[in-house]
Amino acid sequence: MEPARHMNGIKGWPVWLKVTTWASCMLVVAGLAFAAFWVIRLQLNISKAPLSAGSEKLENTNDRTDRLQILILGSDTRDGKNSQYGSAEDSTGYGQSDVMMLLDISKDNKRVSVVSFPRDLLVDIPKCIDHESGQTYPARSGVMINTAMAEAGIGCAVDTINELTGMKIDHFMMADFNAVKELSSTVGGVDVCISDAVFDPDSGLRLPKGTSQVEGEQALAFLRTRHAFELGGDLGRIKAQQGFLSALTRKIKDDGTLGDPQKLLRIADVVTQNLTVDDGLASVQSLLTIGSRLRDIDVSKVAFVAAPTQPASQDPNRLELVEPEASQLFAALRADLDLTSPGSTESPSPARPADPTAPATTAPAPPAPAYDKALQPVAVANGSGTPARAQELLQTITGAGFTRASTFAAATVNTTVVYYGAGFEDVAKDVAALFGIPAIQQEASVTGVQVYLGTDFTSGTQYGQATVPKDVVNQTASDVICQTANPAYVTG
């Protein structure tokens, strides 16, 4: 029997070609085995939990092409590897959200906004179901935001931020104390700066004046301290955390880490061992997709923001949102505006092009109102929380011919409404049309017509148009900022 033709072909090859062929095959096999090892290893590292603590199923997004909102959480649980930082009496189970940041990646991958929420912020927490235990927690008002996760799990923290901001979070990532230590060491330390030498015995942070490189325990202490910066408390800590993340972003970008598979694998291995994500993000490919989207973003367009707060009226040791600044910030986020461009507004939808085949028509002239504008009593009540805001809108009203218009101060409210009395419905409709206030926010209630401004209409003359507030950005990732030391913790 004659041997197979292809076997003869191989036997006839030169020795060097046979060796090269077999070596190439072995390299391919080894490469595939190496890749499979890392995919399996990283996949086994990942822990996951439900995205929501409600019964509602959230819409899926395309992680590659859609705008993404990811809630970044830091758990203060003392379970397992974190027991050295305290006992179960301090925090156990899910833990409280020691860090809470909303990461917002624009659809075009040109901007990232990172909004921090202080753990002492008093908010309304919606009804939440702990999907692990099946226990239902009723909705509550005026409680600390970090208790949402502690009771009903990570999904409850997601639902709380959704309700607070009007956003729809796509994913979450939760890390514990150990993640910070190992990540900071893996990247070779992170540069931080402080105005004076400090020592905080509670967190263990000890730093000299100026710039230092922190990693491991000192990196964790820098992020955890509630005493070393500003006058202590959450707000000083948030600024320090944002400064740390800015420096970490610059280092990863400068080192080319996101474009270096070997460096990326080391970081991925460390992070995934200490990470819990939602079901939609619980794959190596999904995490790599997020990393690839962040790779080419200009660090000057990575904006770090803190939710505007003030001491709470019911407890000065807690915080509450400041209006109208908070509503303005959340409106700008929902409109996907560039937070690094103060004063920029929502772009109007482009007009639909005319159909060249349609017959030419002449638009009818608007009918004249069946009333004399100069005689109509129109008032603007300023419940927006912004001084002189009513005067701004008064100019538009009088310019439209309502010359009897007036203004007065009023109690702050959340929603703008046009109130009117019997026989003034047509006047109210015309006044509301000046500002684009929808019909659902027009009510029969008073004599004449009254535009009652709320915290949802604090800028511009068109209701619902989002504007980026001034001074909303604490810093961008391109800014190198020294934290201000708390005088009470400054050392000689």
Q: Render pLDDT for 208-222 as a digit per residue (tens, 0 to 9).
A: 999 999 999 999 999
pLDDT at 349: 37
pLDDT at 364: 52
Task: Please give the sequence-ordered ranges of beta strands (E in DSSP) within 32-111, or none if there are none.
Answer: 47-49, 68-75, 97-105
State the Cα–Cα distance between residues 234 and 139, nearest whole angstrom: 25
pLDDT at 392: 87
CA distances from 195 to 208, 249, 484, 489, 492 (A): 9, 22, 5, 12, 13
**Bridge partner residues of 303 (DSSP):** 113, 476
Give the three-state DSSP class for 325. Answer: helix
180 CB-contact burial (10 Å; exposed 0-12 / middle 13-18 / buried 19+) = buried
CB–CB of 152/129 below 8 Å? Answer: yes
pLDDT at 429: 94
pLDDT digits (tens, 9 = 90+) for 35-87: 554 456 566 677 888 898 875 655 678 888 999 999 999 876 544 454 444 44
CA distances from 154 to 53, 63, 148, 180, 235 (A): 8, 20, 8, 19, 23
Distance of CA 294 to the CA centre of its chain: 15
3-state helix, strand, coil in the chain (%, to 5): 35, 20, 45
- To which CATH superfamily is domain 48-345+475-489 assigned? LCP protein (3.40.630.190)
How does DSSP assign 175-215, residue by residue?
E-HHHHHHHHHHTT-EEEEESS-EEETTTTEEE-SEEEEE-
361 CB-contact burial (10 Å; exposed 0-12 / middle 13-18 / buried 19+) = exposed
Give the three-state DSSP class for 161. Answer: helix
DSSP code, position 426: H
Residue listed under structure tokens 């020795």: 15
pLDDT at 19: 59
pTM: predicted TM-score of the whole model, two decimal places? 0.74
pLDDT at 355: 40
pLDDT at 368: 59
pLDDT at 315: 92
CB–CB of 67/106 below 8 Å? Answer: yes
State the Cα–Cα distance between residues 396 and 257, nearest whole angstrom: 54
Instruction: Note down pLDDT in tens along the chain; length 492 residues.
Output: 454 454 455 566 666 565 566 566 655 555 445 455 445 656 667 788 889 887 565 567 888 899 999 999 987 654 445 444 444 444 445 667 778 999 999 999 999 999 999 999 999 999 999 888 889 999 999 999 988 888 888 999 999 999 888 889 999 988 887 888 888 888 889 999 999 999 999 999 999 999 999 999 999 999 989 899 998 888 899 999 999 999 999 988 888 777 777 777 777 777 778 888 888 888 777 877 888 888 888 999 999 999 999 999 989 999 999 877 888 888 889 889 999 988 777 643 333 333 444 444 444 555 656 899 999 999 999 998 888 889 989 999 999 999 999 999 999 998 899 999 999 999 999 999 999 998 889 999 888 999 999 988 887 788 878 888 888 999 999 999 999 999 999 997
CB–CB of 166/330 below 8 Å? Answer: yes
CB–CB of 446/420 below 8 Å? Answer: yes
Of 180, 185, 183, the C-alpha closest to 213 is: 185
pLDDT at 85: 43
What are the b/e assignments for 143-155, b being 16+ CB within 10 Å? bbbbbbbbbbbbb
- Percentage of the chain beyond pLDDT 70 is 81
Compute the CA torsion angle 407, 344, 162, 313 (nearest 10 deg). Answer: -50
State the Cα–Cα distance between residues 386 and 323, nearest whole angstrom: 9
Contacts for 285 with CB less than 8 Å, ≥ 6 apart: none
Residue extent(s) of CATH 3.30.70.2390 domains in the chain: 373-453
Of 191, 190, 188, 180, the C-alpha closest to 270 is: 180
pLDDT at 20: 63
Residue extent(s) of CATH 3.40.630.190 domains in the chain: 48-345+475-489
Classify domain 373-453 by CATH architecture: 2-Layer Sandwich (3.30)
Of 429, 430, 386, the C-alpha closest to 407 is: 386
Contacts for 317 with CB less than 8 Å, ≥ 6 apart: 120, 311
| Strand-pair category, 275-278 with 210-214 | unpaired
pLDDT at 89: 47
Other CB atoms within 10 A of residue 293 CB: 19
Give just the sign of the alpha carbon dihedral 424, 427, 431, 433. Answer: positive
Other CB atoms within 10 A of residue 190 CB: 26
Is residue 210 left, alpha or beta, with left meaning phi > 0 and alpha meaning psi from -120 to 50?
left
